[in-house]
Amino acid sequence: MDHWMALAFLAVGIILAVVEMATLTFYLAALAFAALVTALYTWLHASAGWQAALVFAVAAVIALPLAHLLRRRLQASRSNSGLDDMDKGALVTVAEDSYGILKVKYRDSLWEAVWEGGGKPQIGARAEVVARDGSRLRIKAIG
């Protein structure tokens, strides 16, 4: 039997899975799953090209919304974990203020910071971390 179509879908599925590992979006994983399901189907059943495309489309239509739900669930559980709030309440020292862009000394390195609240921070003043947005700290006056 000629299994060139199954091998092609297998190769596409593996390539998509590898690219997914680099991007971590879950959407390419859904497409990789659809390609692997199509490869299995075309390996077991002699199929025309349109049948393989239909199997891929149906598998993708099923897998993509599931991947979206999984991604949202993982993001929600990650933002609710205590890891993001690990920096909250920590004390920092204002090191630089160049035209509204603050640099603060925190964990023995300089971090970008955004001042929240009234007034203007003074160089050398201590401040408290309110939250962290990626690598930028949101800080306020102590008290």
Q: How confident is the model at residue 135 (pLDDT cuts 50, 70, 90)?
A: confident
Q: How many domains does the chain have?
A: 2
76 and 93 housed in the same domain = no
> What pLDDT shows up at residue 77?
75
**CA end-to-end distance (rounded Å), the chain:** 77
37 and 72 housed in the same domain = yes
Residue 98 belongs to what domain range?
86-141
Q: Domain end: 58, 80, 102, which one?
A: 80
pLDDT tens, 32-82?
Answer: 999 999 999 999 988 888 999 999 999 999 999 999 998 888 877 766 555
Q: For 89-100, give one letter per residue: b (16+ CB within 10 A) or e.
A: eeebebeebeee
50 and 94 housed in the same domain = no
pLDDT average, residue stretch 117-130: 86
Of 2-6, 7-11, 55-59, 79-83, least confident by mean pLDDT is: 79-83
C-alpha dist (Å) from residue 60 to 13, 45, 57, 94, 135: 12, 19, 5, 51, 35
72 and 108 housed in the same domain = no
61 and 8 housed in the same domain = yes
72 and 131 housed in the same domain = no
Q: Domain end: 48, 63, 80, which one?
A: 80
pLDDT average, residue stretch 107-118: 87
